[in-house]
Amino acid sequence: MGNSKRSTARHSIGSRLGTLLFGFAFFAAGVGFFSVPAVPAFYDALRMSSWVSVDAQLEMADLERNRDGDSTTYRVRARYHYVFRGHRFGGERVGIHGGSDNLGSWHEDTYRRLRSGQAMSVWVNPDEPSEAIYDRSLRWGLIGLYSIFLIVFGGVGAGIMWLAIFYERDPVVVDGIPLWQSRKAWRDNRIGSAAKLTMWVVWGFAIIWNAISAPTLFIVPTEVAKGNHLALVGLLFPLVGAFIVWYAIKQTLQWRRFGATPLALDPFPGSLGGDVGGHIDLRLPMNPAHVFEIVLSCNHVYTSGSGKNRSTKRKVLWQDRQRARLEPAVRGTRLSFSFQVPADLPESDVPSSDYKEWLLEVRAALPGADYDRSFEIPVFATGAQRSRVRAPRQDTKPAEQPWPQIVRVREHGAGLDLHYPLGRNLSAAAVLVLVGSIFAAVGLLVPELVEEFDPPLAIRIVLGLLGTLALASGFYLGANSLTVTVARDGLVVTRRVFGYPFIRRIPREEIARIDQDIGMQSSDSRGTRAWYRLRAVTDSYGRVTVGDSLPSASAAQTVAARMASVLRLPAPEPLTHSGASRGPAAASEPTAAARPARRTRSVRWVVVVIGIGIFLWQAKDFLLVFLASR
């Protein structure tokens, strides 16, 4: 055992040393790339600040152009003479920075000044009169270019060295010890968020991004002056950099306002088939008007691809949300919550290239800095543990009631009308329409207007098709409504697309159950959001959508339970790990009679896509004629 511990310690030290040396190599490269050209320039500028101005005569001036592929570099040369303290001297140095480049227009501007015929003066070293220079100013654009290497390579190297020295990884899984006790982040039931790390990572990324994109501010004006208006696209990079800086400032203000806000679970750990509850104490004066949204998600996190195509994806397996109960606490305000979770969802796992995680997100829009934290929490099958947090029902209602924005419910006798209105997916539809418009414009319109942009025909076709599909999806999401009439004798499902109705009547005897599953998910800076749908499982029609865009598992469960009650079906069970609620196996697969309905839906989508494609093609010709007429 002692030898094993010593071996592990030696391996840890060796790993840290290797990482430290690797980081030092990056750091040294960054410092070197900056210091070699920049330090002599700063030194020359400092010592030249005491030089004196003397009249001079120009003998020769020339602007060298060196063509290398698609790039042209410039170098201004000159020869001049001057008289200092009765002695004649000659010089050839023009600027502090030597060599040729194409950053900005310093070489062209200096050449024009030299050839303008105006009186010329140079700066002379009074202690060494043979040493003179025409322009003793620093070129900050070049200094900024050198700084990129210092910030990118030096910053990355410094970060790697910091991790090698200070970062302590959680121990691997230890046999016989539960995972929530072996992981340092969980073992004391004071679970921290990644808010501070996120703040520093965003600042680091902002510095690196802006360092890399800063030269475009010098290059773009020069290129535009030469008639290359397509270079204006390069300004997108500094704009993105400004947004990243704004986001970093936002993260900083949030951290300064709230600091560390550890989460305490009750029960600990969260219990599958039981409760996941707990509380968070905030430095915030108690105010019952504040609304804190709590989102609990079970996610499948996996890495796909390799090399530069490697990416990490997050798929929601189950998600619910509610409003936190607020009560006074020593620090200010205590947020309490309690979720009931299905029993057959996966347990928390060790982060890897393919694992399951339980994520708790807490956010609130507040005056000043908002609150927005995420916690990776332990949830395990520990038995029928229940939380001591038993908030009143009105305090734990879903954060977003499923009606009226999503579904409007109207009871009539023994029946029920559910109406899912137009615009319930407006934000997702707007994003799809915007993306589709950009792809379609780049593929169909821009090549006709901008001569410099001439992609291959295959790329234009692919971009046009992708744009058409995105537009079709966006228009469908934004322009469809769904009305479901629920009665004892069955369902009437009416889907309207641009006002045109598609009606389906399903007798009660055909319906086996109401299923719940995740129909759509979207990701943004606030996390991954799941939207639930309801489907009637039938013998002859397959699975028919009878509800969509529901914002949480509890909302879907509520609507499904009301439908099942009217139809006198068994109460729907919660969503399971497989992605659908449990039910009789007999109706799990659609029969042959359901296949024509699927073919009808496919034909409908094909018709919509072809129609929008034809519209875009005609619109392209109209826009070209319109723009030409102006």
Q: Are residues 213 and 70 in the same domain?
A: no
Pick from 96-100, 144-148, 252-256: least confident: 144-148
Determine the Cα–Cα distance for residues 492 and 567; give it in Å rounded to an integer.
Answer: 12
Q: Are residues 238 and 362 in the same domain?
A: yes
Both tokens of 12, joined, read 């840890």
| Cβ-based neighbours of 534, under 8 Å, separated by 6 or more | 514, 515, 516, 545, 546, 547, 548, 550, 556, 559, 560, 563
Whether 357 and 477 map to the same domain: the answer is no
Looking at per-residue pLDDT, the higher value among 610 and 357 belongs to 357
Residue 339 lies in a domain: yes
Q: Where residue 378 sits, what CATH number does that domain have? A: 2.60.40.640
Answer yes or no: do 354 and 444 share one domain. no
Q: Please tell me the predicted confidence (pLDDT) of residue 7.
A: 42
Q: What's the pLDDT tens digit per position in 34-75?
A: 888 889 999 999 999 999 999 999 999 999 988 876 678 889
Domain shared by 438 and 557, yes or no: yes
Query: 170: which DSSP letter?
Result: P
Establish if 560 belongs to a structural domain. yes
Q: At what angle do helices 457-479 and 595-629 cross, to 10 degrees?
A: 110
Q: Is position 453 within any domain?
A: yes
537 and 501 together in one domain: yes
Q: What is the pLDDT of residue 282?
A: 93
pLDDT, average across residues 16-32? 83
Tell me if 448 is assigned to some domain: yes
Judge whether residue 593 has pLDDT over 60. no
Do 383 and 424 lie in one domain? The reply is: no
Q: How far apart are the C-alpha atoms of 293 and 619, rounded to whole Å? A: 44
Domain of 118 in residue numbering reads as 50-135
Residues 429 and 387 in one domain: no
In a domain, 408, yes or no: no
**Domain-ending residue, one of 135, 165, 191:** 135
Q: Does residue 425 share a domain with residue 387?
A: no
Q: Is the pTM of this model over 0.95?
A: no
The per-residue pLDDT for 68 is 75
Task: Note whether residue 39 is domain-resident.
Answer: no
Q: Which residue has the higher pLDDT, 191 or 144?
A: 191
**pLDDT tens digits for 349-369?**
888 888 999 999 999 999 988
pLDDT, tens only, 171-193 = 555 566 777 777 888 888 999 99
Radius of gyration of the chain (CA): 33
Cα–Cα distance list, 418 to 46, 111, 424, 483 (Å): 77, 76, 14, 6
Q: What is the pLDDT of residue 601?
A: 54
User: Residue 252: what pLDDT?
Assistant: 94
pLDDT score for 176 = 66
Q: What pLDDT sits at residue 440?
A: 77
In a domain, 25, yes or no: no
Judgement on whether residues 381 and 429 belong to the same structural domain of the protein: no
pLDDT of residue 173: 58
Residue 252 maps to a domain: yes
279 with 346, same domain: the answer is: yes
pLDDT of residue 5: 41
**pLDDT score at 430:** 86
| pLDDT at 626 > cutoff 60 | no
Count of the separate structural domains present in the chain = 3
Look at residue 498 and tell me whether its pLDDT is greater than 80. yes
Q: What is the mean pLDDT of residues 611-618?
A: 57
Of 121 and 104, the structure prediction assigns the larger pLDDT to 121
Same domain, 191 and 283: yes
Q: What is the mean pLDDT of residues 448-461?
A: 62
The Cβ of residue 296 has, within 10 Å, a number of other Cβ atoms equal to 23
